């Protein structure tokens, strides 16, 4: 049985309540959080038990739990809680305290995940943007996993997704590294504000009205770190798609990494301050709308914008770093939202090569629809907006059950086995419902479904290869672009042959 130390327990429980806004007495242990947790089977203490440990005052037991290092941050638990408890924030708060107080599990899972987060954030502190090869090198040195993904790395270098020379040239660094250093320093100081108190309520999501996107418009562009590296084909296809739709992109000057996913997993204040700098840069540039193709980047920017509107402290802190007055006018949208806001008939007029023979599984992942109040994008349990776009392009979207199940998100390096298990369940459901390929709008989802597919198939041996397309690739191809022109040939799972059916 866990031990209970009253003095330490009271202080730590108070910190967790302030960080999350939860009243843990409201949890009645219904188990919905554990039932929906994609990583629950890997955890010693799945979400419902973590909540019970905090509720009962066994904080040290919760802090030492391996569950903190298997949590993928998908927010399914919070989205489905009938008492409006923020279970995902509880996991994040416990992880942050465990690291600061050195009250941690000795399980290898913790060491691998911590090595990834430390490598990730050190890279951002140094460069302002993530240099993916530098991140991988640092992670491998910390974990001695030198041969992991060696073949994938060679392919990425050959395909031009990773440039080893950037390690020496500093080409991927930003000019405002002094501001990034100031942000990291501020993040170590406790916040005077606490999370708003949460009370039981029914969460009803009414998707907000899409922005109107018209031909000839100029909108902002926040590519994020992945699109300048390992997801370079996403950047290529997004730019080509916008060109074919007559939309001009204006990249935010000197943008920085938003910190996803390592910042919010280890330091809540840092997870707001890093995106806040991008917000004020976009505001200062007069950009009302900014396209952020990465679902994780868009998610962090949307959450931060709301936090800035609500928090004078956060606005004051980012002003002190950048010297820019926050207006919070710039709204960050994803590719699916851009296409939703573009007139459907206008898209149909531009289609030259309909996707008429393709049966496609539209995969949203977790961060396009959660958290419910902030993203407010589509039905959080059965989104359909991507299917509508595929249908406009002439494709055949399949009806399937795993479109919002998490693929493992940013744990692809640290928890490869977990990612393979999750992607196998996703792929098997898609295939059993007649899908020939996936459609995604997130580089993390693409990496886990595409790069990890070979390992997953070797482990399970019950699936055929299934190409993974970015939604922007399919839009570009339907509008007349050559598949090679949008870098479809650079995927791990061969993706060109299926398009020959068009």
Residue that terminates a domain, selected from 165, 187, 209: 187
Token couple for 315 = 């606005």
Assign 106 a pLDDT band (cuts: 50, 70, 90).
confident
272 with 226, same domain? Answer: yes
> CA-CA distance, 67 to 47, in Å (whole number)?
8
CATH of residue 442? 3.40.50.11810
CATH of residue 285? 1.20.1050.140
Token couple for 106 = 């000795």
The predicted pLDDT at position 8 comes to: 60
Long-range Cβ contacts of 154-163 (<8 Å, 24+ apart):
155/492, 156/230, 159/232, 159/490, 160/232, 161/229, 161/230, 161/231, 161/232, 161/233, 161/490, 162/132, 162/133, 162/229, 162/230, 163/133
> CA-CA distance, 72 to 87, in Å (whole number)?
12
Query: Token pair 């301050």 is at which residue?
Result: 273
> CA-CA distance, 23 to 28, in Å (whole number)?
11
Residues ≥6 apart with Cβ < 8 Å to 53: 2, 45, 59, 61, 62, 65
Rounded to 5°, the CA angle 388-440-367 comes to 95
Q: Check pLDDT > 50 for residue 1.
A: no
The per-residue pLDDT of the chain, averaged, comes to 94
Residue 213 lies in a domain: no
**Pick from 22-26, 80-84, 206-210, 404-408: least confident:** 206-210
309 with 170, same domain? Answer: no
Residue 196 lies in a domain: no
Q: What confidence tens digit (pLDDT) does each residue in 138-193 have? A: 999 999 998 899 999 999 989 988 888 766 655 678 999 999 999 999 999 988 88
3-state secondary structure of 290: strand
The predicted pLDDT at position 6 comes to: 57
| Distances from the Cα of 404 to the Cα of 396, 425, 449, angstroms | 19, 12, 13
> CA-CA distance, 361 to 364, in Å (whole number)?
10
- Cβ atoms of 180 and 124 within 8 Å: the answer is yes
> Is 212 exposed, middle or buried (CB count within 10 Å of its CB: 0-12, 13-18, 19+)?
exposed
Torsion of CA 335, 384, 74, 20, to 10 degrees: 90
Residue 345 lies in a domain: no
> CA-CA distance, 2 to 129, in Å (whole number)?
42
Q: What confidence tens digit (pLDDT) does each residue in 118-133 have? A: 999 999 999 999 999 9
| Distances from the Cα of 406 to the Cα of 240, 247, 482, angstroms | 28, 31, 31
| Distances from the Cα of 216 to the Cα of 290, 352, 405, angstroms | 15, 20, 36
What backbone torsions phi and psi does residue 29 show, to the nearest 5 degrees? 60, 45
361 with 264, same domain? Answer: no
167 with 294, same domain? Answer: no
Query: Token pair 């993904």 is at which residue?
Result: 149
pTM: 0.96
Residue that terminates a domain, selected from 101, 132, 155: 101
Assign 10 a pLDDT band (cuts: 50, 70, 90).
confident
| Distances from the Cα of 70 to the Cα of 108, 447, 452, angstroms | 11, 19, 18
Q: Check pLDDT > 90 for residue 251.
A: yes
Q: How many domains in the chain?
A: 4
Residue 202 lies in a domain: no
Sign of CA dihedral 128, 259, 422, 47: positive
Average pLDDT on 312-338 reads: 98
- Cβ atoms of 17 and 24 within 8 Å: the answer is yes
Nearest to 410 by CA among 72, 71, 142: 72
E strand map for 31-80: none
Q: Check pLDDT > 70 for residue 5.
A: no
380 with 488, same domain? Answer: yes
Nearest to 381 by CA among 205, 200, 202, 199: 205
273 with 322, same domain? Answer: yes
323 with 465, same domain? Answer: no
58 with 77, same domain? Answer: yes
222 with 332, same domain? Answer: yes
| Distances from the Cα of 62 to the Cα of 1, 37, 69, angstroms | 12, 17, 12
- Residues of the chain above pLDDT 70, percent: 97
Residue 439 lies in a domain: yes
Residue 123's domain spans which residues? 108-187
The predicted pLDDT at position 192 comes to: 82
Helix-strand-coil percent breakdown of the chain, rounded to 5? 55, 5, 40
Q: What confidence tens digit (pLDDT) does each residue in 281-300 have? A: 999 999 999 999 999 999 99
> CA-CA distance, 93 to 113, in Å (whole number)?
16
Nearest to 424 by CA among 452, 451, 400: 452
Average pLDDT on 400-412 reads: 95
Residue 441 lies in a domain: yes
> CA-CA distance, 362 to 438, in Å (whole number)?
6
Conformational region of residue 258, where left means phi above 0, alpha means psi within -120 to 50, and beta covers everything else:
alpha
Residue that terminates a domain, selected from 67, 101, 135: 101
Residue 59 lies in a domain: yes
- Cβ atoms of 377 and 338 within 8 Å: the answer is no
Average pLDDT on 366-393 reads: 94
Strands 248-251 and 437-440: unpaired
CATH of residue 75? 1.10.1060.10
486 with 361, same domain? Answer: yes
What backbone torsions phi and psi does residue 394 show, to the nearest 5 degrees? 95, 0
475 with 408, same domain? Answer: yes
Q: Check pLDDT > 70 for residue 425.
A: yes
382 with 312, same domain? Answer: no
The predicted pLDDT at position 31 comes to: 97
Rounded to 5°, the CA angle 112-117-122 comes to 125
> CA-CA distance, 223 to 402, in Å (whole number)?
27
Average pLDDT on 389-406 reads: 97
Residue 371 lies in a domain: yes
Sign of CA dihedral 350, 354, 358, 359: positive
Nearest to 173 by CA among 277, 237, 282, 256: 256
> CA-CA distance, 263 to 25, in Å (whole number)?
28
Q: What confidence tens digit (pLDDT) does each residue in 45-60 have? A: 999 999 999 999 999 9
Q: Check pLDDT > 50 for residue 417.
A: yes
Token couple for 119 = 């490598």
Specify the higher pLDDT residue, 2 or 354.
354
């Amino acid at each position: 049985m866990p031990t209970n130390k009253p003095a330490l327990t009271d202080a730590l429980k108070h910190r967790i309540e302030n960080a999350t806004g939860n009243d843990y007495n409201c949890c009645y242990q219904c188990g919905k959080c554990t039932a929906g947790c994609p990583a629950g089977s890997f955890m010693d203490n799945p979400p419902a038990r973590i909540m019970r440990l905090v509720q009962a005052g066994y904080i040290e037991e919760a802090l030492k739990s391996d569950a903190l290092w298997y949590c993928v941050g998908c927010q399914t638990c919070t989205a489905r809680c009938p008492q409006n408890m923020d279970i995902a924030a509880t996991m994040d708060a416990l992880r942050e305290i465990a690291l600061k107080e050195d009250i941690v599990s000795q399980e290898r899972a913790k060491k691998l995940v911590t090595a990834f987060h430390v490598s990730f954030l050190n890279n951002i502190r140094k460069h302002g943007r993530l240099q993916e090869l530098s991140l991988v090198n640092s992670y491998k040195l910390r974990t001695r996993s030198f041969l992991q993904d060696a073949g994938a790395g060679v392919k990425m270098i050959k395909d031009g997704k990773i440039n080893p020379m950037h390690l020496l040239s500093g080409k991927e660094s930003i000019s405002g590294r002094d501001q990034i250093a100031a942000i990291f320093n501020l993040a170590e100081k406790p916040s005077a504000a606490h999370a708003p108190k949460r009370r039981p309520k029914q969460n009803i999501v009414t998707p907000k009205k899409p922005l109107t996107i018209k031909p000839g418009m100029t909108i902002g562009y926040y590519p994020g770190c992945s699109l300048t590296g390992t997801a370079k084909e996403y950047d290529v296809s997004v730019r080509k798609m916008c060109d074919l739709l007559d939309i001009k992109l204006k990249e935010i000057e000197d943008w920085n990494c938003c910190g996803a996913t390592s910042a919010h997993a280890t330091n809540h204040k840092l997870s707001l301050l890093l995106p806040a700098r991008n917000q004020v840069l976009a505001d200062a540039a007069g950009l009302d709308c900014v396209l952020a193709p990465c679902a994780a980047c868009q998610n962090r920017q949307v959450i931060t914008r709301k936090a800035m509107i609500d928090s004078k402290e956060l606005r004051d802190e980012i002003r002190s770093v950048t010297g820019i007055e926050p207006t919070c006018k710039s709204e960050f949208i994803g590719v699916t939202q851009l296409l939703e806001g573009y007139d459907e008939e206008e898209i149909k007029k531009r289609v030259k090569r309909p996707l008429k023979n393709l049966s496609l599984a539209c995969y949203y992942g977790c961060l396009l629809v959660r958290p419910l109040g902030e993203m407010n994008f589509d039905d959080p349990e059965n989104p359909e907006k991507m299917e509508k776009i595929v249908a406009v392009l002439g494709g055949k979207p399949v009806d399937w059950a795993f479109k919002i199940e998490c693929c493992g998100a940013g744990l692809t390096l640290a928890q490869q086995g977990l990612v393979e298990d999750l992607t196998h369940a996703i792929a098997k459901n898609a295939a059993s419902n007649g899908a020939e390929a996936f459609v995604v709008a997130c580089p993390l989802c693409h990496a886990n479904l595409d790069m990890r597919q070979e390992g997953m198939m070797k482990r399970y041996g019950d699936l055929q290869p299934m190409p993974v397309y970015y939604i922007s690739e399919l839009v570009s191809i339907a509008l007349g672009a050559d598949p090679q022109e949008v870098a479809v040939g650079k995927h791990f799972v061969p993706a060109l042959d299926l398009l020959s059916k068009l």
